[in-house]
Amino acid sequence: MFHVKNHKQAHIFDPWGYLGPKRRKALDQSWSGIFQKEILPVLPVEDLRKHYHDFLGRPTKELYSMIGLMILQQMFDYTDKEAVEQFCFNLQWHYALNITDPGDNASYVSEKSLWTMRDILATEGLQDKLFENTLARLAKVFDVDMKKQRLDSVH
């Protein structure tokens, strides 16, 4: 069953409030804060809808966090096992992927789920769309003119 979290929906209570203001500010200003606020919302989860039923079957892992996991694994050059460990236990990854539930349903993923998601992304050819969406969003956030690119010659 297709399962996505509405990341625009506000929480009644701040799920990160237990961190205290200093650690919260540090997370907001780190890569994980940028990822949560800027990258997570532009991930193409709707392109995966055709692989899952709308209401029958067991719910998928939250698809924003699964696609985000795929990006973070490549960003940090982790093996599948290392990426799964980071997903399960790393607070910065939880913050970046907006995983607010400490339970296994949200905070645990198996290597098999990672392999399945990788296969779906490859089958759909979504790697280019992921790259383009992420690149465009980061260029906007950091005010980078993509029309001017440096070309180095190799001698």
Highest mean pLDDT, choosing among 1-5, 71-75, 98-102, 121-125: 71-75
Per-residue pLDDT tens for 33-91? 999 999 999 998 888 888 877 788 877 788 999 999 999 999 999 999 999 999 999 99
Instruction: Give one DSSP letter per residue of the chain, joined into a string.
Output: ------TTSPPSS-TTGGG-HHHHHHHHHSHHHHIIIIIGGGS-GGGGGGGS-SSSSSPPSPHHHHHHHHHHHHHHT--HHHHHHHHHH-HHHHHHTT----SHHHH---HHHHHHHHHHHHHHTTHHHHHHHHHHHHHHHTT--TT--------
pTM across the whole model = 0.84
